[in-house]
Amino acid sequence: MAQDKLKLIPLGGLGEFGMNCMALRWQDDILVIDAGLMFPEEELLGVDIVVPDISYLTENRDKVRGIVLTHGHEDHIGGLPWILSELNVPVYGTEFTLAFVEGKLEEHNLLDDAELNEIIPGHRLTLGPFSIMPIRVTHSLVDCVALAIHTPVGVVLHTGDFKVDLSPTDGQPFDLQAFAELGKQGVLALLQDSTNVDRRGYTPSEKAVRPRLNEIFGQTKKKLFFSCFSSSIHRIRLAMELAAEHGRKIAIIGRSLDNSTEIAQDLGYLEPAPGLLIHPGQIKDFPPEKLCIMISGTQGEPMSALSRAAVNNHKFARIDAGDTVLMSSRVIPGNEKSIYRVIDHLERRDATVIYDDGTAGLIHVSGHGSQEELRLMINLVRPKFFVPIHGDYRHLKRHVELASSMGLVEKAILMEDGEVLELDRNSATKTGNVTVGRVCIDSGGAASDVVEDLVIRDRRHLSEDGIVLPIIAINKGTGRLENLPEIVMRGMAVPEEGLIAEARQVVQRTLDGSSNEEKADYGVVKEKIRTDLKRFIQKSMSRRPLIMPVILEI
């Protein structure tokens, strides 16, 4: 009987923000929804990105039918290069999403081997026993879809990231009708985005920022620097319209903005007025009041165009006194320090900085639905079972409470990464766990750049306690010491020179107490020195630095 159940297995995104990846399994067929990454917390020293552990998929590689993407944000597609290097399966996404994916795979030399297939909202796609209907939803990016997955036991609806915007700037509204139709046919399980579950009311439409942005364009006397997420095509389109209305030329600065605006223009999502766009090199040819400079770096990334311009270190973007810098985005938790550092630099240049401080009108709106939209979706589709996705544990818990309080759902189930939920037409039961976790990657590279836990532990150790290098020169012929051991200490506040002299004596005593046979075996000598020095430093300084003896043969 277990064979006749649908398995729902989250591999990432439940219990954290980012790394979204969900597997659906029916007998010998697995469908994967999204393949995201997560940006590392501070304690993951030197790690650039974090992707889900896909051991479960690699162990069942012959059963994976494909990866279907809901939209093109990094937390949904950023893990693809890593996953496809391990598991080359077909990828499905909308036109705009695939354009982002192509650039990402090309960067990692994976594009030639990848099989990318376009999906269109309202057109079904069949993968093994799964018949998938993409449904148009609105979000802070264009061309986003929810997925209605028809399985042998019923429909599983995966919302992706969404908000209910009936008047978006691209004229492609949220498809309420399709969700209402699904509700009439019956939905077995609803997997719903939990990002804004703690926000009351509705999330405003993208058009709600227009009045305040229009005011800023009108009031700015000199250059206007406009910074937003490079994927916020709606916002970029709005800025282009306002720049044209206020007689300003637009220069685009920053690789990510360049790429996304180019893709959006190619696909018809951006149609700048003729002559509106200028090359960054032409900025100096126009008076300041005739310029709007779109610049990347809204989160204060150290090497971004805005960060460099803020310290007067950019070839084209020069911020002068009286210029206005508008940061039209939210502060992502964890980025506060770097954002406020950039704002401080901008203030030093006597620029007017406008950022999302909750005052004087909207300059940014969220791309995620608030409580009333989440309720609306549950009301429309009336699922039998409800599973919150995309969020920290507290968001998922709050979302279960919200769904349960409506009295429309038979069972709301709180799940975390790795748990297996088995569904049939009448029941939903957790039955076990699969291996999940996170894989840390340096420099956004391929599989060879995986950072093991041990490496991160060493980095943390070094950052907290420093390093000690005892350097011993031994005569190869006689086995005798050539001179007193040298001690190099880094990352340690050494109280006085006397400590280093004492440490030398400790090493010297260890060597004097070793037999010729021990001295001939450098592995043994190193271990003895490490042990004695560790004991001495711990006793005198209460520190546990990394100790790496170096033996030089002379």
Cα–chain-centroid distance for residue 541? Answer: 40
The reply to whether 368 sits in an annotated binding site is: yes
How far apart are the C-alpha atoms of 69 and 119, rounded to whole Å?
9
The reply to whether 314 sits in an annotated binding site is: no
Task: Determine the 3-state secondary structure of 68 from DSSP.
Answer: strand
The reply to whether 432 sits in an annotated binding site is: no
Separation in Å, CA 201 to CA 79, 194, 375, 479, 498? 33, 14, 10, 79, 66
The reply to whether 357 sits in an annotated binding site is: no
How far apart are the C-alpha atoms of 244 and 276, rounded to whole Å?
7
The reply to whether 75 sits in an annotated binding site is: yes
**Among the listed residues 411, 434, 424, 385, the one whose alpha carbon sits nearest the alpha carbon of residue 3:** 424
Q: Which helix (H) or strand (E) holds 476?
A: none
34 in catalytic set:
no
Asked whether 23 and 57 are in contact (CB, 8 A), the reply is yes
53 in catalytic set:
no
The reply to whether 350 sits in an annotated binding site is: no
The reply to whether 28 sits in an annotated binding site is: no
Choose the catalytic residue: 368, 395, 399, 417.
368
Q: Could you identify the residue written with the tokens 């100096």?
A: 284
Choose the catalytic residue: 53, 175, 193, 323.
193
The reply to whether 455 sits in an annotated binding site is: no
**Among the listed residues 326, 354, 321, 244, the one whose alpha carbon sits nearest the alpha carbon of residue 290:** 244
**Among the listed residues 51, 68, 253, the one whose alpha carbon sits nearest the alpha carbon of residue 144:** 68
The reply to whether 46 sits in an annotated binding site is: yes
The reply to whether 73 sits in an annotated binding site is: yes
Q: Which residues pair with 420 in a beta bridge?
A: 432
The reply to whether 442 sits in an annotated binding site is: yes
- Side chain identity at residue 11, one-letter code: L
Asked whether 173 and 161 are in contact (CB, 8 A), the reply is no
The reply to whether 108 sits in an annotated binding site is: no
Number of H helices, E strands in the chain: 16, 28
User: Alpha helices of 229-385 — where are they, by DSSP H?
Assistant: 233-245, 255-266, 305-310, 336-348, 371-381
The reply to whether 113 sits in an annotated binding site is: no
Residues tagged in the binding site annotation for substrate: 364-368
Residues tagged in the binding site annotation: 46, 48, 71, 73, 75-76, 139, 161, 364-368, 390, 442
Residues tagged in the binding site annotation for Zn(2+): 71, 73, 75-76, 139, 161, 390
Residues tagged in the binding site annotation for Ca(2+): 46, 48, 442
Which residues are catalytic, by number?
Answer: 193, 368
